[in-house]
Structure 1
Amino acid sequence: MKSMFKILIIEDDVSLFHEIKERLTQWSYDVYGIQNFNQVIEEFSEIKPDLVVIDIQLPKYDGFHWCRIIRTHSNVPIIFLSSRDHPTDMVMSMQLGADDYIQKPFHFDVLIAKIQATLRRVYNYNVDNIQLKTWCDATIDYEKNSVTNEHGTIELTKNETYILKELIEHKNKIVSREELIQSLWEDERFISDNTLTVNVNRLRKRLDELRLGQYIETKVGQGYIAKEGYSS
């Protein structure tokens, strides 16, 4: 992992922000906060962070709003923080393209582990692998996180690309949920089973735009399988 990543913390609790900043600085991360919560996207664009940690409850607009805006500009990994005990918050964050979700109060070791795992996954997972892959008469570009066939091109999140990559590398074979969780998040203790379901469902929905969703099948009680086929 490179020695310095830029991390943007979108958190209005000043004391919590400073504690997170202090912990992350000890790991040689370059940490930024928001100065004006009316200009979040402007500050995001200026900082160009490698990862964003964002609270759901924020002044004026909530974290979901800013996640939507960020996703129109960038596929930067996003980790949500929430003090609310609403299962729908986690589902909503994943549907918006977040990479992970942490419930407050949390242990700082868990936050750091999630950040480190996300950075390794997003910026290092494809270094030694071929960037282009053909599947179901479509071209998958792992570097650009895109899938292209005669029906068009779609862009995926980093998580969606990685899940698709894992399934394609084992095409026509069942990949268990446990294998996907361990491979994607590196430590299954830090991710919920429901989060994987949300990510796979979102991936399949995006692939439907290219008539490819049918080739990602759920094997109840076993896992998922990417079948080889043709989209035309």
Structure 2
Amino acid sequence: MYKILIVEDDSKIAGLLQSHIQKYGDRAVVVEDFDHVLQQYKETDPHLVLLDVNLPSFDGYYWCRQIRSLSTCPILFISARSGEMDQVRAIENGADDYITKPFHYEVVMAKIRSQLRRVYGDYAARMEERKVENSGLILYPERMVLQLKEQVIPLTKKESILMETLLERCPRVVSREAILEKLWDDAFVDDNTLSVNITRIRKKLLEFGIEDALETVRGVGYRLNITWKDESGL
């Protein structure tokens, strides 16, 4: 029996989803306290999360990032927002799929079963969580989080890909062309878009207290170059 957490503030929709899920013999838990979604996630420890975008206090994108800091479990967005950028934003914040309202409940169930088979079924990959480590920083790409000692910071999908590229080649220089190919698969992107993402990574490193580690190598690209001092200051 799988456990599914439903984060949906429309009680009628939440109830119907719960009914359909339990009809398949699984357990569905409906969130009622939208100020403490992450706490309820920890208590339930679900195999999958159904998550609305429009929620009280914080939106679904925020809670998706929070859950991703703890888990790689499938997250399916269910939302009345049908815009392309809403769907892109959901995926970049860690979602596995995006279902627009109004929807057929059997379609939702089919997508749920598909994700459960992919992650937990007989043919699911049996491997340890992947991590990329360099200079004391640990990146968990699937969870999209960056860790230094006990501090953990969530990343967007683009930030995670960029950080992985820099960590893997640290302390070598990574060309702008190589970064663009990783991030956007050769699609045209102006220089300003890449600069924005580099600035975001620098801000994330500053949250760890790391300054001037991401260097701009003029005319070439970027280099992650972190040098640690021991407790004696040497």
> Structure 2 length as normaliser, TM-score?
0.61
The residue aligned with 2:118 is 121
The residue aligned with 2:38 is 41
Structure 2, unpaired ranges of 5+: 145-155, 188-234
Give, in angstroms, the shift of residue 202 of structure 1: 7.1
Q: 1:125 to 1:22 in 2, by over 3 A?
A: same
| 1:213-232 equivalence runs, <5 A | 214=178, 218=185
The residue aligned with 2:2 is 5
The residue aligned with 2:29 is 32
> 1:146 pairs with 124, 128, 131, which one?
131
- Percent of residue pairs identical: 33
Give, in angstroms, the shift of residue 56 of structure 1: 0.3
Larger radius of gyration: 2
The reply to whether residue 211 of structure 1 matches residue 168 of structure 2 is: yes
What is the rounded CA distance, in whole Å, between the counterparts of 1:61 and 1:125 in structure 2?
A: 36
The reply to whether residue 157 of structure 1 matches residue 114 of structure 2 is: no
The residue aligned with 1:191 is none
| 1:1-232 equivalence runs, <5 A | 4-124=1-121, 142-147=127-132, 153-157=138-142, 204-211=161-168, 214=178, 218=185
RMSD of aligned C-alpha atoms? 3.0
> Using CA pairs below 8 Å that are at least 6 residues apart, which structure has the higher relative contact order?
1
> Structure 1 length as normaliser, TM-score?
0.61
What is the rounded CA distance, in whole Å, between the counterparts of 2:11 and 2:85 in structure 1?
A: 26
Q: How many residues align?
A: 166
Q: 1:92 to 1:118 in 2, by over 3 A?
A: same
Q: 1:158 to 1:109 in 2, by over 3 A?
A: farther
Q: 1:47 to 1:151 in 2, by over 3 A?
A: closer
Give, in angstroms, the shift of residue 60 of structure 1: 1.8
Give, in angstroms, the shift of residue 150 of structure 1: 8.4
What is the rounded CA distance, in whole Å, between the counterparts of 1:209 and 1:65 in structure 2?
A: 26
